[in-house]
Structure formats: structure tokens, C-alpha cells
Amino acid sequence: MLGALGLATAIVLWSLPAGDFILTPDKAKPLAGRVVVEGSRPGGAGDVYYVDLYVRRVRLLEHLLPFTRPEGSTVLPEHALLPPGTSDAERDRQNAADMERSERIASVVALRALGYEVVATPRGALVIGVASDVPAAAKLAAGDVIVAVDDVPVRTPADLRREIGRRKPGDDVRLTVRRDEKPIELRVRTVPNPTDPSRPIVGITVDQEADIRLPFDVDIDLGRVGGPSAGLPFALEIARKLGRDVTHGCKIAATGELALDGTVLPIGGIKQKTIGARRADVDFFVVPVGRNAEDAQEHAGGLDVIPVESFQQAFRLLTTADVKC
């Protein structure tokens, strides 16, 4: 009787969410067949792999008994993945938008590095991150596009930095933001730059928003996978599809968000993604430099980790170095 009651209790506790999120590893997968480039001529044997992870609400049983959590998992507080006032559905929509943008950016970065002409017309400063401890956190969100500061047009991140730099720390600025293709006005207070308190900042990370025209079609489809972190493997696979040997017969996994200039930006869930790369038995794992690379090394378990600052650097290393499996 007690055993049946205990089992029933465990089932109830497993079915109840505890509020926080849990990240668990997913096995890395090859991009072959998921990236289609017009006129492609694949370069060399081997494969480029992307890495993903599972994200779900932690179960109450997992919250109470940590040993019931999947191997390699990490629990994050709700606010780390859902800004105040954001629903799960809104988070899913943002992840889908981030994935769509990462596909476009990867195409631009890869084709430009290969010498193709790509037209990218600036349309504002795209918000890709907001610090949690600044006034802007309550106003701005990833995906917003800043198009003016106090009615002064902003077409590039440099325009935004210039206009914010004309204020003093603690000043309010009025931002014109394009959100879901609709303009809104937001008043945001600046804060001192941590490295130079005399300089004002808003506390956001931005990239170039642009209308993009490619010289030929590039189609990428990962199904329901979302988020921006597959930009680097996308760009590497596009280069491979266009005849560049970036694999040398090896299985190359990669992760990293790409900026329009090719900079590789840090990503979340690196522990789970490193475990996922190991489970796929890849030969090398290309990751963003800095903390991401340090954390990947910690969980690599013998997997060769290659830290990079940009797609251009990754491309040079993989095409010119003596890569051996």
C-alpha cells in the first residue's frame, strides 16, 4: 500500500511544474540536407554539425530531488529565460524570430567571406540583449529595432552610440523603436559605463538590422529548433556547400551567434551543447572565445575545442590548418 502511495505521489510530483526552467543536452546533428544553396557543389567529405538543447519547466520532483534530473542538466530561474511580463508563447515567438535572423545573417557573412556581393541596407540598431540591472530592462527587449534617439534618425549601431554618447549618465532619452514592425516611443534612463563612469550607456547589446538581398537562394530549415546560436555552423555549412573544404573528412560541430560583421557572439547552454557534441562523437567543437570556450573545455571530456572570435577566423582555421580526424 505504501509502495503504491509512494508511486502515486512521485507521479503527481513529476507532473507538476516548479516554475524554473531546466536545460538538458540534445545530441548534435549534421546539417547535411538542412541547408540548401542554389548551385551548390559540396567541398570535401565530412559534415558540419549543429548543437541544440532541450528547454522545459523543471518538475516539482526534480526540484525536490535533484538526483532525478537528467544527466548534464542545469536549472535556471524563470527570470533568466523569461523577462518580467513575458509569456512562454512570446518566448517561443522570439526564439523563432532569432532563428530566422540567424539564417539570414549566416548567409550574408558566409557569402561575403567567399567574395560574393551581398546588399545589406541599414534599417536601425537591433537589440539582441538587455542587461538585467539597468532601467532599460523594463522597456526594451531582444528583437526591438531602435530607429531614432530624440527624433534623430538611427540607421546603424554607430549612430546609436554617437547619440547616446551626447548625453550624461542619468539622463533620459526618448527612443523610437520598431517592434513587430510597428513604431513605439520609449523613454529610457542612461547609466554610467562600468569601464568609464563619465560615459552614458543604455545597457543593451545591439547589432545591425538590415534589408538583405543575396545573389542566389539559400534555404535553411531546422524545423522547430529556435534561437540564434546556430549562426556559425550555418555559415560553415554554406561555405562547404559552395566548394570550400572546411571539414577535411571530419565531423565538425559548432555553435555561436553571428553578428552581421562576422563576429561570433557568446551563447547560452554551452555545457549541454558540449555534452551533445560529445554524444555525437564529433572530432572538433568550434565555440565562441572567452567564457564559452572555458566552459566547453571543462565539459569536453577529450573533445577538441576550438575557440574563435569570428566566422572569418573559423573559416581560415578550418580551410588552411592541418585538420586531422
- pLDDT score recorded for residue 80: 76
Tell me the whole-structure pTM to 2 decimals. 0.82
Q: How confident is the model at residue 17 (pLDDT cuts 50, 70, 90)?
A: low
Query: Rounded mean pLDDT of 159-176?
Result: 94
Annotated domain spans of the chain? 27-57+87-117+218-320, 119-211
- Predicted confidence band at 150 (pLDDT cuts at 50, 70, 90)? very high
pLDDT one-digit tens code per residue, 70-104:
899 889 888 777 766 677 777 777 778 888 888 98
Under CATH, what is the fold of the domain 27-57+87-117+218-320? Ribosomal Protein S5; domain 2 (3.30.230)
Confidence bin at 27 (pLDDT 50/70/90):
very high
pLDDT at 9 over 60: no
State the average pLDDT over residues 189-214: 90
Burial 226-264 (b: 16+ CB within 10 A, else e): bbbbbbbbbbbbbbbbbebbbbbebbbbbbbbbbbebbb
DSSP state of 265: E
Q: At what angle do helices 88-113 and 311-320 cross, to 10 degrees?
A: 50
- Residue-level pLDDT at 16: 52
Buried b (16+ CB within 10 A) or exposed e, 148-158: bbeeeebbbbe
**Pairing status of strand 145-149 against strand 119-130:** antiparallel
The CATH class that applies to domain 119-211 reads: mainly beta
**In which element (H, E) is residue 28 found?**
none
pLDDT at 1: 44
pLDDT at 131: 87
Better-predicted residue by pLDDT, 174 or 12: 174
Is the pLDDT assigned to residue 321 strictly greater than 80?
Answer: no
